[in-house]
Amino acid sequence: MVKSWSDHYLDVVKDLGIEDKPERFWNCDETGVQDQFDQGLAIGEAGRPSFRITPGEKGQTATVLACFNAAGEFSSPMVTFKAKTIKAEWCVPNTLVKGSDNGWITTELLTLWVENFLSTIPDDGLNRILILDGHITHTYNLKFLEMMKARNFAVMCFPAHTTHWLQAADKSFFRSFKHNWNKLGTEFVKKCGGQHLSKAEFFQVFTPAWNISANLKLQ
């Protein structure tokens, strides 16, 4: 299945004429981040208790959508909170902040992200490709596909049940981002005496973790 997909992918790339144009290869993916953090193992004296400070509230998950190209350029991320409405104090520049009933991305939210993403891409008529997984919000989203086609973007989904092998975001960026998210989040909890990471403080951890992992100025 992967071999067949790879052959088709190469054919599409050749048809688009972008084999040697890394800046035209885009990949996007989503991941969930908890507002509580794994503080790792504690080393203490044998037979004596060890303590660590943790928030008392039950944690929530926010969804982060990242998109970058093969030249190392990043689009602005989108963060989806579990919320009916979004407050101004939760928002920061260069990040699209939205809410949903469960904190997961929806077809409507993906469409809003695409509008923001395409606003940063030159409308120059050049061919590009976007690679992503086959989640229902992608494959059953006609408006998303029409918007991408209108801007000369070919859209390809990875084969089912193969993203743990093929998804570049999981293998590279998200692996680094989650490490930095957990590290900086743990430091936040220690400094605040176990205070829960609120939505208003979310970007005190998110923004530096993202910037360190992306290692580039956001577009």
In which region does residue 114 sit, left (phi positive, over 0), alpha (psi from -120 to 50) or beta (all else)?
Answer: alpha
Per-residue pLDDT tens over the stretch 162-189: 888 889 888 889 999 999 999 999 898 8
CA dist., res. 27 & res. 46, Å (int): 49
Name the H helices within 17-135: 107-118
Please name each of the domains of the chain with its CATH number: 2-39+52-214 (3.30.420.10)
Q: Residue 34 pLDDT > 70, yes or no?
A: yes
Per-residue pLDDT tens over the stretch 60-101: 899 999 999 999 999 999 999 999 999 999 999 999 999 999
pTM: 0.86
Per-residue pLDDT tens over the stretch 120-151: 999 999 999 999 998 877 778 999 999 999 99
Per-residue confidence (pLDDT) for residue 218, from 0 to 100: 39
Name the percent of the chain lying above pLDDT 70. Answer: 91
